[in-house]
Amino acid sequence: MTSSSWRICVVRACVAAGAVFCLGGASAAQTAAGQTAPAAAETSTAETKTTWYFYTVKWGSQDEFLDLFQKNHYPLLKAQQQAGRFASVRTWVPQYHGDGRADWTFVVELVSRPGVTGGPTEQELIARMYPDQATFRKEERRRFELLAAHWDVPLNPVDLDTRKPGM
């Protein structure tokens, strides 16, 4: 079994179990569903870096949080993807509340392309995409008021096909 087919099997098993999992390293452009990301922008390295951004939304506020995220932050992430900074932007919610370690209610997976240069900065995109800065800042502040917790998990891939056990 090749390294990439092994990873896809692991991803499918984890997804079937209700866990969030992604492919790391250079193969991150292909997802468990077999989708491929848009063509890569010019980078100094072929590697990608995957980070999961976890959110725990206060009880009863999930829909408002998702509305604000979808209105203000998701378009910004997609614009950065189009500019080549991200290979992919994906989001999830857990299937069951209280299932295992589902102390999160929303997660964003960003697969970045380290070394990408040029293109607009995040602040330039915000200024261009949201001319009413007062409303944008107010809604972003509200989005974070709805959170009980937020944490980021940068991931490092482990290729078990090539890893040498320390035994």
Structure tokens that stand for 144 in this block: 């974070």
- The answer to whether the beta carbons of residues 102 and 52 sit under 8 Å apart is no
DSSP state letters, 62-94: HHHHHHHIIIIIHHHHHHHHHTTSEEEEEEE--
Confidence (pTM): 0.68
- Phi and psi at 25, nearest 5°, equal 70, -160
Q: Residue 60 burial by CB count (10 A; 0-12/13-18/19+): exposed, middle or buried?
A: exposed
- Compute φ and ψ for 86, nearest 5 degrees: -115, 140
Q: Over its length of 167 residues, how does the chain's per-residue pLDDT go in tens digits?
A: 333 333 333 333 333 333 333 333 333 333 333 433 334 344 344 689 999 999 999 999 999 999 999 999 999 999 999 999 999 999 999 887 765 566 899 999 999 998 888 889 999 999 999 999 999 999 999 999 999 999 999 999 999 999 999 87
Domain definitions of the chain by residue range: 39-154
Let me know if domain 39-154 sits in CATH 1.20.120.1630.
no
